[in-house]
Amino acid sequence: MIKNILNLGDAALYCDFGSDVNQEINSNVIKYFYHIKKLNLKGITNLTPSYNKLIISYDLNIHSFLSLKKKIENIEIKENNKLEKNLIEIPVCCDNNFALDIKRVENKLKLKSEIILEKFFSKNYFCYMTGFVAGMPFLGDLEKDMRLKRLETPRVKVPKGSVGITEQFCNIYTFETPGGWNILGNTPQNIFDTSNQSNPNLVNPGDTIKFYRITLDQYNEIKR
């Protein structure tokens, strides 16, 4: 399933699963990720799955590129290996104070805000990967008529909990960070929990997400 293994610098393998972004390729990446993680190989310092790549960082004192590449190439994963999936429901409030880019999205998609939100909440989303900042899930796919580009100028600060869309994807800002996604609402739910060290992420690669809409009162209630 790995098409090619290159080096990323001198201390990481760059495993290429293809150039398309779809759930089939991504599921293969995730299967490899969980499989290698379980092997607990000495000297592997990080595994980073993404849409169609898996990056394996290693300790240069223990491995060289060629020796580790051979090890990874020899791994066999059964095609029918089932991926464990959880369904996670996440509340989102789309009050005007939270839906920072709803006007822009209306203009770009030429749809009324109510239609946009109805479409957004009617789908389940697949988690391709988490990262950039701690716990941030990259979810997809949005319907074709819901796709638009990032903001021309990214925000310096996107509020924590913001739910945004860009192209075929949506995400949740787990921390206040700079960012350029189109923000449709905000969740009061904590997506990344530092105090839970065994499983800090609410959403993990392979999971399915269902967003449901809540009022401002409900938002404040949960937040309390």
The set of long-range contacts for 37-45, using a CB threshold of 8 Å and a minimum separation of 24, is 39/75, 41/71, 43/68
C-alpha 112/C-alpha 173 separation (Å) is: 25
User: Which has the closest alpha carbon to 83: 20, 29, 2, 16?
Assistant: 29
Token representation of residue 168: 């075929």
Q: Does 121 bind other proteins (CB under 8 A)?
A: no
Q: Does 8 bind other proteins (CB under 8 A)?
A: yes
Q: Does 65 bind other proteins (CB under 8 A)?
A: yes
Q: Does 159 bind other proteins (CB under 8 A)?
A: no
Q: Does 23 bind other proteins (CB under 8 A)?
A: no
Question: Which range in 52-60, 79-87, 93-101, 103-111 contacts other proteins by CB under 8 A?
Answer: 52-60
C-alpha 141/C-alpha 143 separation (Å) is: 7
Among 3, 46, 73, 217, binds other proteins (CB under 8 A): 46
Question: Which range in 39-47, 92-100, 112-120, 210-218 contacts other proteins by CB under 8 A?
Answer: 39-47
Residue in this structure with the two tokens 């192209």, named with its chain if needed: 167
* 180 close to 151: Cβ distance less than 8 angstroms: yes
User: Which has the closest alpha carbon to 179: 111, 106, 116, 100?
Assistant: 100
Among 125, 126, 138, 181, binds other proteins (CB under 8 A): 138
Q: Does 6 bind other proteins (CB under 8 A)?
A: yes
List residues binding other proteins (CB under 8 A).
Answer: 6-12, 14, 19, 21, 33, 37, 44-55, 57, 60-61, 64-65, 129-136, 138, 174-175, 177, 192, 194, 197, 200-201, 204-205
